[in-house]
Amino acid sequence: LASREGKDFNTIIHLPNGKTIGGEKIAVIAGPCAIESKEQIVEIAKRVKDAGATAIRGGAFKPRSNPYTFQGLMEEGLIHMAHARDVTGLPIVTEILTPEHVKLVSKYSDILQVGTRNMQNFLLLRAVGESGKPVILKRGMSATHDEFLLAAEYILSQNNPNVILCERGIRTFETFTRFTLSLSIVPVLKEMTHLPVIVDPSHGTGKRSLVNPMSKGAIAVGADGLIIETHPDPEKSFVDGPQTIDLDAFAQLMEELKPVARAV
Ligand code: PEP
Ligand code: MN
């Protein structure tokens, strides 16, 4: 179902605010790594909307490597994010960690995100497939292109055609960057599949200074969109501060993206 073979269309995901992912324009999903408070997510939602964002992101259930760090506000976070949607009209993207949460997270979120650590959690893939919600599937940090597409196949095979693939960096010998953003996967996936492809330059590099150039690079190689971590004060961000850009840098990036490609 994911394969391009025999299909003469590109999948376009239609969002409740009339915007699309995989359509003519570049989609930009922006927001904090984690929802920290109602005020935080509302402020960010307003600012990224003014800058031209397509949707807002924010984690309520955080898949942290260290169990003793902040794990997210859980349902309270989802309620704050739904409030931010009411204020701005921006659709919500948030991560789901387990099949048991499909009902809860679907109640609030417009798009379900499956994180890199769960790309081969096949029961979760089936469950988000059954939900019927659009799904952002992040590439496993050690997954090959074929494994990535087979993971997408699990969702598609539940009669859910709304899958968005996200390159978010892979593990290599290099440790200067947090991961290695594998931009060549974008044109490869464009050959292999009709599904939209977005890029996460925040997790893909782990470094704030690289988010702007790698965003431009992603669009130059044909990505349909970006997912970017932004926060009013990245140094104080509960999670992933070093890769988070501030709201002015985000607005500046959106300006700079305009001439690069299909206008945002
Ligand atoms: C995230 O988007 O906040 C996240 C945890 O991403 P990944 O699964 O790519 O690490
Ligand atoms: Mn993060």
- Which domains does the chain carry? 25-62+70-257 (3.20.20.70)
pLDDT per position in the chain (264 positions), as tens?
999 999 999 999 999 999 999 999 999 999 999 999 999 999 999 999 999 999 999 999 999 999 999 999 999 999 999 999 999 999 999 999 999 999 999 999 999 999 999 999 999 999 999 999 999 999 999 999 999 999 999 999 999 999 999 999 999 999 999 999 999 999 999 999 999 999 999 999 999 999 999 999 999 999 999 999 999 999 999 999 999 999 999 999 999 998 876 655
Question: How far is 161 from 153, CA to CA, in rounded Å?
Answer: 10
Asked if residue 236 lies in contact with residue 34, where contact means CB atoms within 8 angstroms, the answer is: no
Q: Which ligand ends up closest to the CA of 63?
A: 1
Q: How far is the CA of 9 from the centre of ligand 2 (A)?
A: 32
Q: Is 168 in the pocket of ligand 1 (CB under 6 A)?
A: yes
Quick one: which atom of ligand 1 is closest to the CA of 115? 8
Can you tell me the ipTM of this complex? 0.99
Q: How far is the CA of 62 from the centre of ligand 2 (A)?
A: 8
Quick one: which atom of ligand 1 is closest to the CA of 240? 3
pTM, two decimals, is 0.97
Asked if residue 194 lies in contact with residue 4, where contact means CB atoms within 8 angstroms, the answer is: yes
Q: Is 171 in the pocket of ligand 1 (CB under 6 A)?
A: no
Q: Is 116 in the pocket of ligand 1 (CB under 6 A)?
A: yes
C-alpha distances in Å from residue 176, one per residue of 33, 128, 180, 207, 215:
21, 34, 9, 9, 19
